[in-house]
Structure 1
Amino acid sequence: MNQKIDFYKNLEPFLSCKDYTVSGEVYQVKKNTEFDLLATVPVPKNLSDYYKSEDYISHTDSKKSVLDKVYQSVKNITLKRKLKLVNKYLLCQESISRPEKNILDVGAGTGDFLKVCQNNSWNVFGTEPDLGARTIASKKGIILQEDLSKLEGKEFEIITLWHVLEHVENLQEYISILNNLLSEKGRLIIAVPNYKSYDANYYKQFWAAFDVPRHVWHFSKTSITKLFSLENMIVEKTLPMKFDSYYVSLLSEKYKTGNMNLLKSFYVGFISNWKAKSTKEHSSSIYVLKKR
């Protein structure tokens, strides 16, 4: 790892956000101008306690509420797209030499993505800090480690983080660990929300993807490029996650008004994607990275 950088140095005020999922507490979101990066301040020492909610859907397979059903339906569609993406970038590596099909999914939740990969002949590995989610995954035949320390010394052709990097506290150190786990010709695939999207600017402090304090960091395209350049990695491709604008708008509308206004949420999500055709600032983006 290069010289350690203090991302909390010289932060500028940006906005205040409420935790709508667990505590109801208000946090400051501040900006590191050099990296175009937002930080949640302060980060609770007992951060793991802020994930203990039935509303935190990525740790469950719940289909109780309307939001649950929307989330699970969209997830089934996106799983196939994610598999297509990782297969594509394995083929990029095969043009050089035939690699192993080893994939690591960081923050694997209940293991659905790795199960799809396993059914497609991948050797699957994953991490998930939440015990309940790991237990659900194990019932699907997917054994997850608690953290990356259990995988030291291994090497992976593909490493994925689907909406995980924003949760990581020691950001620079974590990126360095990911780089060390990636094979020389491998690809790191990261999906994160984009605080410069139309829906983020529309909902402001009510934007659900701020999700304080669980989201420690809030990224832009510039911040991803700058952060990974510290590890001598480059962004090879940026792809939109178009479904995210609709789901995030649905949640944001609930936070802002107290009601899930389906028509209004769909309209904001649609406009966000439409504007992103020219601005390229989607609600969430996928970044494919490789070693320089």
Structure 2
Amino acid sequence: MAKQKYFISCKDYLVSGEEFDLFWSTEYEILETKPVPRNLPFYYSSDNYISHTDSKSDFTEKLYQRVKTFMLSKKLGWIKNYKTSGKLLDVGAGTGDFLIEAKKHAFDIYGVEPNETARGVALHKDVVLEKSFEELKDLKFDVISMWHVLEHVADQEKEITSLYNLLEEDGVLVVAVPNFRSYDADYYKEYWAAYDVPRHLYHFSQNGIAEIFSKFNFELVEKRPLIFDSYYVSLLSEKHKAASWKYLKAFYRGWMSNFKARSSSEYSSLVYFFKKREKGL
């Protein structure tokens, strides 16, 4: 096997303060975090890991929750261009807010969330989440969504195979991930918050996403930018740098990232819409 090429080293700013290296994949245009810790759940054990809570204790968390609420209906609007009802599975459902919104739009909702704390928060909202795909293996879904989840998955190929098997033949798969080819990633380099090592095990480019899903018989049919992500990621990145005037600087860098992406298409995060391709084609 060819030796992997080194890309950059990053620090875990959330839990451990440890350094991790990113290497180019030998097969796809993606980056891989090395080493992968054996006790990976430990690196999620922080009250500041916001996708597992509904915390609004400071300005950044309030901003995150406000934008998340705004984007829920926007995301459902995108999905309804393909499906207006049916079974919807949210993988990595966090605290269940997207599923609550989907239920309002006439979808039958299902969710998978491995984190016990997040499942508990969702249950208080009357959203029951499964721990793994195993509880759902006899079902088929019209829509499967993964909002900033794929980068956390250790076995990418097994996960994508499971998604293919769970999706109806005419269903749609929706995957949102950060884009390390974006302007804000290039500007902040090792401080870029969306590297989020070691919780993010993989880091994607647009070509990389298309390559890996094509191998598993998915056809990319549409891409959409998540324009607010550049501002939020820039703010966290400025915090990593311990910068002064961080809010002003973050707003400027977030705006600049979106401005440059208007011509390059390299937004900070993108949503990819896939359809199943018949095997063998």
TM over 0.5: yes
In the TM superposition, 1:99-138 aligns within 5 A as 101-138=86-123
Report the Cα distance in structure 2 between the residues aligned to 1:254 and 1:70, rounded to whole angstroms.
15
Following superposition, the deviation at residue 34 of structure 1 comes to: 3.8
Of 146, 152, 169, 2:131 maps to 146
Deviations 1:130-188 (A, max 9, x none): 11110110111110001111110210000000000000000111100001000000000
How much identity, in percent, do the aligned residues show? 48
Of 53, 57, 60, 1:60 maps to 53
What's the secondary structure of 1:242's corresponding residue? Answer: coil
Residues 10 and 32 of structure 1 are in contact (CA less than 8 Å); yes or no, is this contact kept in structure 2?
no
Of 232, 241, 261, 1:247 maps to 232
Following superposition, the deviation at residue 105 of structure 1 comes to: 0.1
Report the Cα distance in structure 1 between the residues aligned to 2:219 and 2:248, rounded to whole angstroms.
39
Aligned length: 277
What's the secondary structure of 1:89's corresponding residue? Answer: coil
What's the secondary structure of 1:250's corresponding residue? Answer: helix
Following superposition, the deviation at residue 33 of structure 1 comes to: 5.3
In the TM superposition, 1:79-228 aligns within 5 A as 79-91=72-84, 101-228=86-213
Structure 1 vs Structure 2 CA RMSD: 1.2
| One-letter amino acid of the counterpart of residue 178, structure 1 | L
Scaled by the length of structure 1, what TM-score is found? 0.93
Which residue does 1:94 correspond to in 2?
A: none
Following superposition, the deviation at residue 65 of structure 1 comes to: 1.0
What's the secondary structure of 2:210's corresponding residue? Answer: helix
Following superposition, the deviation at residue 257 of structure 1 comes to: 2.5
| One-letter amino acid of the counterpart of residue 142, structure 1 | V
Which residue does 1:267 correspond to in 2?
A: 252
Structure 2: segments with no counterpart, 5+ residues = none
Which residue does 2:223 correspond to in 1?
A: 238
Report the Cα distance in structure 2 between the residues aligned to 1:259 and 1:123, rounded to whole angstroms.
47
Which residue does 1:25 correspond to in 2?
A: 18
Residues 250 and 260 of structure 1 are in contact (CA less than 8 Å); yes or no, is this contact kept in structure 2?
no
Following superposition, the deviation at residue 118 of structure 1 comes to: 1.1
User: Is 1:42 matched up with 2:35?
Assistant: yes
Scaled by the length of structure 2, what TM-score is found? 0.96
Residues 254 and 260 of structure 1 are in contact (CA less than 8 Å); yes or no, is this contact kept in structure 2?
no
| One-letter amino acid of the counterpart of residue 204, structure 1 | K
Report the Cα distance in structure 1 between the residues aligned to 2:111 and 2:127, rounded to whole angstroms.
8
Report the Cα distance in structure 2 between the residues aligned to 1:168 and 1:24, rounded to whole angstroms.
21
4+ residue runs over 3 A deviation? none
Report the Cα distance in structure 2 between the residues aligned to 1:140 and 1:179, rounded to whole angstroms.
29
Following superposition, the deviation at residue 258 of structure 1 comes to: 4.8
Report the Cα distance in structure 2 between the residues aligned to 1:272 and 1:21, rounded to whole angstroms.
24
Report the Cα distance in structure 2 between the residues aligned to 1:193 and 1:139, rounded to whole angstroms.
30
Following superposition, the deviation at residue 259 of structure 1 comes to: 4.8
Following superposition, the deviation at residue 231 of structure 1 comes to: 1.0
Following superposition, the deviation at residue 119 of structure 1 comes to: 1.8
Following superposition, the deviation at residue 86 of structure 1 comes to: 1.6
Which residue does 1:3 correspond to in 2?
A: none
| One-letter amino acid of the counterpart of residue 15, structure 1 | I
Report the Cα distance in structure 2 between the residues aligned to 1:287 and 1:58, rounded to whole angstroms.
20
Of 3, 10, 15, 2:3 maps to 10
Following superposition, the deviation at residue 101 of structure 1 comes to: 0.8
